Chain A
Amino acid sequence: MIRAAIAAASSLLVLFIALPLAALYLHASPARLAAAFASPAAVAALRISLETTAASLALTIAFGTPLAYALARGAFAGRTAIDALVDLPIVVPPAVAGLALLFVFGRYGLAAPALDALHVRVAFTTAAVVLAQLFVGTPFYVRAARAGFASVDRLYEEASATLGLGPLRTFAAITVPLALPALAGGAVLAWARALGEFGATIMFAGNLQGVTQTLPLAVYLGLENGDIDLAAALAVLLVTIAIAVVAAARALERRAA
């Protein structure tokens, strides 16, 4: 009786997750997919998404790696608070994140005087897409990297030092390779989160084809304009990438463990 109830509840929920995703694939016949991907909107969205996520991932790694190492190894005031702060973007609604970014980088934002002086406009440009992705994606990388660095036994770093390698070279030759599965897993998750970014982007960067229109925004606009085939084709692409990401992240988690 109980086993039957568990089986029923489980099957319903699994079906609830699988069915909508399957429906996307059912809608997308090869001919429809080919036609959709040939459209200028799809090509532009794909290009914008690849370029912006590459840029935001590079920034995430460049700035997130030192932060993660400091959180894993450093003893400094406010470490716990910073640790919690870095996790916040995961739970802050993306639209709120977009609004918050506007309050800093927008026309009347906190950074506006500095940006004006440099004649730089950020909001509603491609750079805004990158910043929105950086904001929402960073926690996934920093969390994973922090755990990865924490799992590297200090003894290896000490051994490297006694063998003559300075701190930076030890970090590159010992710490990073030993934490690599965790770093790569975090990078994959951060990239995937950036690729799927919608709410913060549309608030902070807008929805301009060829400038700020990423794949998720193009899906939304396709539906708005009644171009269901385009929306479904791009959706299929995103779901396919998501499946690959989950598989890759799991493989890397197994290696990290």
Chain B
Amino acid sequence: MIEVSARKALRTFTLDVDVRFARGVTVLAGPSGAGKSTVLRLIAGLVRPDAGRVALEGRTLHDERTFVAPFRRDVAYVFQEYALFPHLSALENVAFGLRARGVARGARHDVARRWLERLGIAPLERARPHALSGGERQRVALARALAWEPRALLLDEPFAALDGATAARVRDELRPTLHALGVPVVLVTHDETDARTFDAPVIRIEAGRVIA
């Protein structure tokens, strides 16, 4: 369970939300600029709220007295632009979270390889991000987020950078993986198709407020 009860002044409005994300997938939907990404950044600790509380499985990540730094939250974030490290191979990207946790090179590469296999891109392990297609990058980004078994997964418009056919295929492939994770997964989208087809609760926000 992720709890976000927070206020944050943004450029044109104030984000003011009080939401819970249970284990399993929750779709956070709304038009562009509604504050969806800010909710994710609050959960990840990339943005500090002006006031309020953020907690994960009962552990306070932020309140008046507490601020847990992003690197200590164990919250995985798949960025809209993927943000794959351009100087590292696909394998090294996927192994990065394990490297941060002190897992030895051989062991972390084994885990990373299994994730690349699972997502069907094993032959690309040595490729750098610039040599990958949009769909391949998306999978590497997802594998990088999952390989170290995070306590929560945040996905920011995971299909927006893909063309329609690829997006539909990746969405179908991802659905069972995400549902099977057993941790809270928040999937941000402005696309109604994502919201409808993900077979998951939908929370809608507009101009910084939850509307349904």
**B-binding residues in A (CB < 8 A):** 153, 155-156, 158-167, 169-170, 174, 177-178
Residues of A within 8 A of B39 (CB): none
Interface residues of B in 65-80 (CB under 8 A from A): 69-77, 79
Residues of B within 8 A of A177 (CB): 87
**0/1 interface trace, chain B 73-113, chain A, CB 8 Å (1 if under):** 11111010101011100000000110011000000000000
Q: Is the CB of A178 within 8 A of B86?
A: yes
Q: Is the CB of A164 within 8 A of B148?
A: yes
Question: Which listed residue (B46, B100, B148) contacts A158, Cβ 8 A?
Answer: B46
- Is B187 in the interface zone, CB < 8 Å from A? no
- Is B44 in the interface zone, CB < 8 Å from A? yes
Q: Is the CB of A160 within 8 A of B44?
A: no
Q: Is the CB of A156 within 8 A of B76?
A: no
**A-binding residues in B (CB < 8 A):** 44-46, 69-77, 79, 81, 83, 85-87, 96-97, 100-101, 144, 148
Question: Which listed residue (A159, A163, A166, A169) contacts B69, Cβ 8 A?
Answer: A166
Which 5 A-B residue pairs are closest in the complex by CB-CB distance?
Answer: A164-B100, A161-B70, A159-B83, A162-B77, A163-B97
> What's the minimum C-beta distance from B4 to chain A, rounded to whole angstroms?
16
Residue of A nearest to B82 (CB): A159
In the complex with contacts A156-B85, A166-B69, A161-B46 CB distance below 8 A: yes
Residues of A within 8 A of B46 (CB): 158, 161-162
Q: Is the CB of B70 within 8 A of A155?
A: no
In the complex with contacts A159-B85, A174-B85, A164-B79 CB distance below 8 A: no
